[in-house]
Chain A
């Protein structure tokens, strides 16, 4: 049995902390969630020597132990709560060697919690280039902890870091930084005493953050509140004094250990690039161009793997049918589970490609410029600069887009972004739009160049975009918040992307999607399958009996017979009955019960629409037969009036419904996961579907 050392990795954002984590753990890592917060929890294992193994916990990138966003409190909780499952034996603080002053603030805070600590000075190459000379030994002596210089990108210093972790002292060795107790002596000692907290600095944080800390014992909160009143403790004032004292300490320390040998260059590589990329006009144009390239790539690069997946699942289903005995079980497996699984996996290429681009933009440092450029514009409508990426990602798929909202620190801004992102026209709406537009919009050109069908499609995308903006603007006034919104963001220097990191992000996100969304989609697919396969016994038997007659056998070929039987069975199944029962509600929108069935099945996922239409109009559900679905739908007439079902009014009403309605179980599931409550997915379901109903009603009544 090897000795296991648990190590927490901390550091400011943009210090290369995740590169250090990846270098230490390689592929031996696991992504999960910290309980109660939506911060990715990454843990991994690292073999230090023949006798020692380390478990590394990657904590979120923070500038200070005082959380800027609520979820950042997890860092303090893990370090302070000795009963926490993840409480580490030692902490490694990764600092940017080229900016030690700001980076050491976090280090001194961690050190004052009196946990054994190692300081890793990453990006030592950048510091050297900037002409900084750091006396590592002296720094180590003065701090009383091991200091390891690193260039994690080239894996330089990783072996030394591993050795330092293996040798880490079981008791804290750090020297005193600032006199925490003297900040508010009477108050802190009483908090320590009453809550039996050993370290004054932990007591200070508990008094500051007690409302959000989950680990405090019952009865602690009233005690803290009583002491705050008694001593008139003013958290912001004390925090200010503490921060100032820490910087004094750091300044003194660094004046001894760090020397600027060459004056820094006035014009750096980064500032030259920024002249173009953050330009008031060109910056925005370049951003639009980059977006255009990303979307072209998502659709064109994903096309091939997506069709491979589709074919793969189709032939797998075919194989299953051929080897399994025909019956209910086979049907459930093929049309329920495998079909549901296929519906999930089909989105993996788009998600992987989207996240590869996002990882590249983040890794190079460009994402900070996007946020910078767009902040003002987005804030006008109740969002902020950090909402841009999720909204744009929503054009591919709302699920990864909502996962990307984690970078938004302000809860209200994040919530609004989550609520409006599904209004962006996602890839799953595309087949619905294409089918309906081809049905009612003539394939003609206007003004010589614009294809009418293309314009109609563009209109649908713009409708989604403007709806998202409009709703965000309204939500800004409806959703209350006491939290202030901040930008205050570091602009990292431009660097080459780390391709291993890009690959890892693609893998992580695709896996998270398959696991999280997959469960829901498969469950719903099975329920839908059951409802579409079974119906009240006497009605189903009547259908069977009708088609078993000799007259029917003669009228149709065996294939035709099967189609008619299938379509009539669907009509009498529970889904069919449900479709008929909602007909009065959807009639004002121009929909009949058949469209009603498609609407119901589409609540699992929108792309089910084409397949359902194909089943109802009894043709092969297969893309190459899209034309025949089209023809059948064109020929469909209303039995009462004899007029065609799919008029311009009905088709546009239906498209508007699809544009606005929340018909995606995976999105609802991911919103539930990200907001940690069922309230917001239900709000989203209600407002989007309500909006869809009203908008469709208006569309139909106007165009009729």
Chain B
């Protein structure tokens, strides 16, 4: 790890990704939501890619666990991604 890198490490959530960007699910910030997300195949370690975002920036459609899932921004915000450099 380069010196100073720790300052760039930030816990992003899924709602912050742009169209076409991907990330890996690390954890969830909302217990009730996390159960539903996991039932729909959003598991820690699973990679997600933002496919498209609706007009006015909400909701978004992502590819996860081999299929496409749509969710509101507020729902995506509960999915915390593994920090990437």
CB distance from A372 to the nearest CB of B (A): 5
A239 to B38, CA, bound (A): 10
Is B9 close to A, CB under 8 A? no
Q: B39 is contacted by which of A64, A270, A280 (Cβ under 8 Å)? A: A64
By the criterion CB–CB under 8 Å, are B67 and A487 in contact? no
Q: Among the listed stretches A138-146, A373-381, A643-651, A683-691, which one makes contact with chain B, having 4 or more residues with CB under 8 Å of it?
A: A373-381
A102 to B32, CA, bound (A): 19
**CB-CB contacts of A95-125 with B at 8 A, as 1s and 0s?**
0001101100100000000000000000000
A237 to B34, CA, bound (A): 10
By the criterion CB–CB under 8 Å, are A236 and B35 in contact? yes
Is B6 close to A, CB under 8 A? no
A498 to B63, CA, bound (A): 26
CB distance from B31 to the nearest CB of A (A): 5
Q: B43 is contacted by which of A247, A283, A484 (Cβ under 8 Å)? A: A247
Q: B58 is contacted by which of A236, A376, A493 (Cβ under 8 Å)? A: A376
Is A169 close to B, CB under 8 A? no
- Chain A residues lying within 8 Å of B31, measured Cβ to Cβ, are 236-237, 240
- Chain B residues lying within 8 Å of A371, measured Cβ to Cβ, are 70
Contact count band on B: 20 to 34
Is A34 close to B, CB under 8 A? no
- Chain A residues lying within 8 Å of B65, measured Cβ to Cβ, are 99, 101-102
A68 to B70, CA, bound (A): 16
Is B55 close to A, CB under 8 A? yes
Q: Which residue of A lies closest to B38 (CB)?
A: A243
**CB-CB contacts of A233-250 with B at 8 A, as 1s and 0s?**
000110110011001000
**CB-CB contacts of B13-40 with A at 8 A, as 1s and 0s?**
0000000000000000001101111111
Which residue among B41, B57, B67 has the maximum number of chain A CB atoms within 10 Å of its CB? B67
Q: Which residue of B lies closest to A236 (CB)?
A: B31
By the criterion CB–CB under 8 Å, are B36 and A487 in contact? no
- Chain A residues lying within 8 Å of B72, measured Cβ to Cβ, are 375, 486-488
Is B5 close to A, CB under 8 A? no
- Chain A residues lying within 8 Å of B39, measured Cβ to Cβ, are 63-64, 66, 105, 243
A513 to B59, CA, bound (A): 34
Q: Which residue of B lies closest to A372 (CB)?
A: B70
Size of interface on A: residues with Cβ below 8 Å to B: 42
Q: B69 is contacted by which of A68, A376, A491 (Cβ under 8 Å)? A: A491
Is B71 close to A, CB under 8 A? yes
- Chain B residues lying within 8 Å of A284, measured Cβ to Cβ, are 55
By the criterion CB–CB under 8 Å, are A487 and B75 in contact? yes
**CB-CB contacts of A490-509 with B at 8 A, as 1s and 0s?**
11010000000000000000
By the criterion CB–CB under 8 Å, are B67 and A102 in contact? yes
A620 to B65, CA, bound (A): 67
Q: Which residue of A lies closest to B55 (CB)?
A: A280
By the criterion CB–CB under 8 Å, are B68 and A490 in contact? yes
Is B3 close to A, CB under 8 A? no
**CB-CB contacts of A266-304 with B at 8 A, as 1s and 0s?**
000011001100101101100000000000000000000
Is A181 close to B, CB under 8 A? no
- Chain B residues lying within 8 Å of A101, measured Cβ to Cβ, are 41, 65-66
Is B7 close to A, CB under 8 A? no
- Chain A residues lying within 8 Å of B61, measured Cβ to Cβ, are 274, 278, 372, 491
By the criterion CB–CB under 8 Å, are A490 and B69 in contact? yes
A63 to B41, CA, bound (A): 10
**CB-CB contacts of B43-85 with A at 8 A, as 1s and 0s?**
1000000011111111101000111111110010000000000
Q: Which residue of B lies closest to A380 (CB)?
A: B56
- Enumerate chain B interface residues (CB-CB to A < 8 A): 31-32, 34-41, 43, 51-59, 61, 65-72, 75
29 A-B pairs with C-beta separation under 8 A: A68-B36, A98-B67, A99-B41, A101-B65, A101-B66, A102-B67, A240-B31, A240-B35, A247-B43, A271-B51, A274-B51, A275-B52, A278-B54, A280-B53, A284-B55, A373-B55, A377-B55, A385-B59, A486-B72, A486-B75, A487-B59, A487-B72, A488-B37, A488-B70, A490-B40, A490-B68, A491-B68, A491-B70, A493-B68
9 pairs of A and B residues whose beta carbons are closest in the complex: A102-B41, A491-B68, A280-B55, A64-B39, A243-B38, A376-B58, A487-B72, A236-B31, A376-B56
